[in-house]
Structure 1
Amino acid sequence: MTPAARLAAAIDLLAALEAESRRPADAIANDFFRSRRYIGGGDRRAISERAWGVVRQRLRLDWWLGRVGARPTPRLLVAAQLLLGEGLKVAEVLATFPGGQYAAPPLNPPEEKLLRALDARRPGSPGLVHPGMPENIRLDLPEWVMPGFRARFGDRLAEEATAMEVEAPLDLRANLLKATREAAAAALAAEGIETEPTRYSPWGLRLPSRRPVTQTRAFTAGMVEVQDEGSQLIALLADARPGMRVLDYCAGAAGKTLALAASMANRGRITACDVSVPRLEGAVRRLRRAGVDNAERHLLVAGDRWAKRRAGQFDRVLVDAPCTGTGTWRRNPDARLRTGPADLTELCVKQGEILSTAAELVRPGGRLIYATCSLLPEEDEAQVNGFLERHPDYALLPLAAAWDEARGRFPELGPVPVVGDLLVTTPVQHGTDGFFAAVLQRRS
């Protein structure tokens, strides 16, 4: 594809994202490229980078376009990104819209007028940040997260916000049911993909740059799974051991179920629950590829008495709760545009309800692990504190104690990543996505 054709395709992809603003962008992009199989791998990467570059800077681009009274259409968003973000001159931006077959139509007179108005207001050096921006726009953060992020990060807010703008690395988890971490790394290296061990997780491998891992023999053979190091640490803290009965209560597509099964060496029983049929159906393929044979699935539906019939039966219950996903914004930049304060309010209520239900499933002496991929205290510490007030039969197990137990089983486990009783990982401090976890012990 020509550069002009790639830019036109990126505009079309952005239009598709706008048309389904509540649907995850990666799913829309997958459908977009699936229906355009003529687009090769290199072109696909270039188109995606152009579109995601706009999505990552959308709050700032909207601010700039608002200054000149422009509606943020996909065409103007791309043009503004070229002008302000990449420092092209007006004539150079106009040349990227040449018209003709496969190229974007030329900017019309009103669009060109808006582009020139932007040019008149841009700073002397390339970049979208302007001193007149509100703090949240300057930090590329929605206004509604600012109180929570200030409470979480304090003086580190700007640094952490900057890290959330950078594309996340690709982490893999070696599947101990199929291979050691060293064997998995060697298998990937034999296919030309070099990795390095992760800092904390004894199962993790990190790629210095994104590569097509899912096309390797190591992946198709089930030796590795894609999983952020922070997510791996949550599975480690669950301390799922061989012979236990374990519940992954909000399993999704079973990413943590796979890690728990490997920790159990395929012995014992693990149940993966979710409210989504497609997610649980997708888990089947992953479980089969990983060689997991001690797992079963259960679909949670309204009026289901499944949980009541299994009260007090599980040694470990992991609640990877539905949340705003603020800790994964560098990986899912569209989520900061799709989520708002009403979602936070609704999710906090749901998290409390899920915790109360899950607590009844833990046997006396067992453990409930509460986790989110959010960095907002309302979804994290506030939920744990509220739960402990409502459930005096539970106590918080300090992180250091849980970490020592995990190191006893996996000596390669790195140092305790945080000071305090709760796990909180961030891109700046740990090089992972933002995750939260608390280990809650039920009294015997």
Structure 2
Amino acid sequence: MTPAARLAAAIDLLAALEAQPRRPADAIANDFFRARRYIGGGDRRAISDRAWGVVRQRQRLDWWLAQVQCRPTPRMLVVAELLLAEGMDLPAVLQAFPGGQYAPEPLSVPEEKLLRALAKARGQAQGVEGLVHPAMPEGVRLNLPDWVIPGFRARFGDRLAEEAAAMEQPAPLDLRANLLKTSREAAAAALAAEGFETEPTRWSPWGLRLPGRKPVTATAAFTEGLIEVQDEGSQLIALLTDARPGLRVADLCAGAGGKTLALAAAMRNKGRLTACDVSAPRLEGAVRRLRRAGVDNAERHLLIPGDRWAKRRAGQFDRVLVDAPCTGTGTWRRNPDARLRTGCADLRELAAKQREILDIAAELVRSGGGLVYATCSLLPEEDEDQVSAFLGRHPDFAPLPLAEAWSAAGLPGEPPAEGPYLVTSPARHGTDGFFAAILQRRSGG
């Protein structure tokens, strides 16, 4: 595809995202490219990079466009991104819209007028760094929605700006070697043979890291089940669950099975692993992943309203993992559209669900067993506050300090965080933002 055709496709993809603002962008993009199978892999990545670049900077681009009373249409968002983020001059921006087959239509007279006003506003501004203008409100300057700033400030304190900047950057691609079929070293060698050079992750003994986004799902290493895509922070949660061979383990919010796969590998296919979820399609997707990974000790259970499964299984599990539905604020560098889709109402609704799920999970844990509560959120309301409230309702549970849980799980070195709980973040750890609390039920509880 020509550069102009790629630009036109990126504008079309942004329009598709605008048309379904509550739907995850990656799902929309998958449908977009599935309907355009003629677009090759390299072109697909270039188009996605352009669109995600706009999505990542949407708050700031909207602010700049508002300065010239311009509505943020997909075309004008791309114009602003070319001018302000990429530093193109006026003639170059105009030439990027040449018209003709497969190319974006030339800028209309009103659009060109807005472009010139935007260029003038940028030229007259003082103290601008990149897209950041000193007159921007705090949320726009930090590229964070206002509703998360109190929670993030409580979490990060003086490091808020550093962490906000790290959340703007594209995430690396982390992989987990599937120990049911290979070792980390052998998986790295298999990937290297296909042209993918990796490096070991810092904390997870299972992990390998690739810079940027790479098409690893097309490799033999992936199709043969030697590797899975999984962020290092997510791997650490599975490791801290301490799911050993022979135990009975429940993954209560299994989704598509990412942590279920890791738990099965830790159990060496010995014992009984139950993957639960409220979504039948997600569980069905997990079946294919489990089969590819060579997992044969897992069963599935679909949780439905009025289900008495938890009552019948009360006190039967050695380990229960609650990877709770959450706002996903820790994954915003990987899912930049989520910061535009999520708000205070979602936080309130999710906090209520988290509380309900934790109470169900508590019933399942046997005396002396363990419950791991985890989120991919960095908001205290979904993390420490939930754990504190849970412990108030369930005095027969007590937190196992992170250092002790790290040692008990046989993990090498020191854990990546101080304090009683696991908290990882993009700036400090190079992972997505994750929280995990390891809670033990007292014997006789």
TM-score (normalised: structure 2): 0.97
- Given the alignment of the two structures, is residue 3 of structure 1 paired with residue 6 of structure 2, yes or no? no
Q: State the match for 1:182 in structure 2.
A: 185
The answer to whether the Cα contact below 8 Å between 1:84 and 1:126 also exists between their aligned partners in 2 is no
Contact 2:244 2:266 in 1 (8 A): yes
Match for residue 203 of structure 2 among 182, 194, 200: 200
Post-superposition offset of 1:211: 2.0
Q: Could you tell which deviates more after superposition, 86-95 or 34-43?
A: 86-95
> In structure 2, what is the Cα distance between the partners aligned to 1:47 and 1:32?
11
Alignment of structure 1 residues 20-59 onto 2, 5 Å: 20-59=20-59
Residue 249 of structure 1 corresponds to 252
**Aligned 1:256-405 pairs, distance under 5 A:** 256-405=259-408
Report what 2:105 is aligned to.
105
Amino acid across the alignment from 1:426: S
The one-letter code matched in structure 1 to 2:442 is R
Q: Who is 1:220 aligned against?
A: 223
Deviations 1:214-246 (A, max 9, x none): 111111111110000000000011000111000
1:79 CA displacement: 0.3
* AA partner of residue 101 (structure 2): Q
Using the alignment, how far apart are the partners of 2:413 and 2:48 within structure 1? 35
Offset, 1:112:
1.3
Is 130-139 or 413-422 further displaced after alignment?
Answer: 413-422
Residues 328 and 373 in structure 1, CA contact (< 8 A), matched pair in contact too:
yes
Structure 1 residue 134 corresponds to structure 2 residue 137: yes
Residues of 2 paired with 1:289 and 1:361: CA distance?
29
Q: Distance in 2 between matches of 1:346 and 1:429?
A: 29
Q: Work out the CA distance in 2 between the residues paired with 1:331 and 1:97.
A: 29
1:415 CA drift (Å)? 2.1
Deviation at 1:95, TM superposition (A): 1.1
Tell me if the contact between 1:199 and 1:414 (Cα under 8 Å) persists in the aligned partners.
Answer: no
SS at match of 1:225: strand
Range moving further from structure 2, 119-128 or 83-92 = 119-128
Deviations 1:384-410 (A, max 9, x none): 000001111100111111100112xx5
Check conservation: 2:170, 2:212, Cα contact below 8 A: no
SS in 1 for 2:435: strand
Aligned equivalents of 1:65 and 1:289: distance in 2?
48
CA contact (8 A) 1:423 1:437 kept: yes
Letter in 2 for 1:332: N
Instruction: State the 1:66 CA deviation.
Output: 1.2
Cα gap change, 1:372/1:182 in structure 2, threshold over 3 Å: closer, same or farther? Answer: same
C-alpha displacement of 1:344: 0.5
**Aligned ranges 1:82-161 → 2 under 5 Å:** 82-122=82-122, 123=125, 127-161=130-164
Give the whole-Å Cα distance in 1 for the aligned partners of 2:171 and 2:57.
16
1:225, 1:145 → 2: CA distance? 31
- Opposite residue 29 of structure 2, the aligned amino acid is A
Secondary structure of the 1:210 match is: coil
SS state of the match for residue 160, structure 1?
Answer: helix
**Residue aligned with 1:171, SS:** strand
Q: Please report how far the alpha carbon of residue 143 of structure 1 lies from its aligned counterpart in structure 2 after TM superposition.
A: 0.4
The answer to whether the 8 A contact 2:175-2:208 is kept is yes
Instruction: Give the SS at the match of 1:164.
Output: helix
Deviation at residue 210 of structure 1 after TM alignment: 2.8
Give, in angstroms, the shift of residue 116 of structure 1. 1.2
Amino acid at match of 1:81: E
CA-to-partner distance for each residue in 1:79-114, whole Å, 9 max, x for gaps?
010111111112211111111111111111111111
- Deviation larger for 206-215 or 29-38: 206-215
Distance 1:134 1:143 in 2: 9
3-state SS, counterpart of residue 246 of structure 1: strand
Q: Distance in 2 between matches of 1:242 and 1:289?
A: 20
Amino acid at match of 2:200: P
Deviation at 1:254, TM superposition (A): 0.3
For residues 85 and 431 of structure 2, the distance between their equivalents in structure 1, rounded to whole angstroms, comes to 26
CA contact (8 A) 2:269 2:295 kept: yes
Instruction: Provide the C-alpha distance between the structure 2 equivalents of 1:296 and 1:306, rounded to a whole number of angstroms.
Output: 13
Give, in whole Å, the separation in 2 of the partners of 1:134 and 1:290.
48
Identity %: 78
How far apart in 1 are the matches of 2:2 and 2:214? 23
Q: Is the 8 A contact 2:174 2:229 kept in 1?
A: yes
Q: Does residue 81 in structure 1 map to residue 84 in structure 2?
A: no
**Does the CA contact (< 8 Å) of 1:85 and 1:126 recur in 2?**
no
Return the alpha-carbon distance in structure 1 between the equivalents of residues 222 and 52 of structure 2.
26
TM-score (norm 1): 0.98
Number of paired residues? 440
Question: Structure 2 CA distance, aligned partners of 1:90 and 1:280?
Answer: 51
Question: How many Å separate the matches in 1 of 2:194 and 2:103?
Answer: 37
SS in 2 for 1:38: coil
Query: 2:417: which partner in 1?
Result: 418
Give the ranges of 4+ consecutive aligned residues of structure 1 lying more than 3 Å apart after TM superposition.
123-126
* Residues 348-368 of structure 1 deviation map (CA, whole Å, 9 limit, x = unaligned): 111111101111011111111
**Structure 2 CA distance for partners of 1:119 and 1:126, relative to 1, 3 Å:** farther
Checking the alignment, whether the CA contact within 8 Å between 2:171 and 2:212 is kept in structure 1 is: no
**1:414 shift after superposition:** 4.1
Distance 1:111 1:299 in 2: 52
Is the CA contact (8 Å cut-off) linking 2:177 and 2:228 kept in structure 1?
A: yes
Matched residue SS, 1:416: coil
Root-mean-square deviation (CA, aligned residues, Å) is 1.0
Output the CA distance in 1 between the equivalents of 2:68 and 2:304: 50
Quote how far apart the aligned CAs of 1:126 are.
7.0
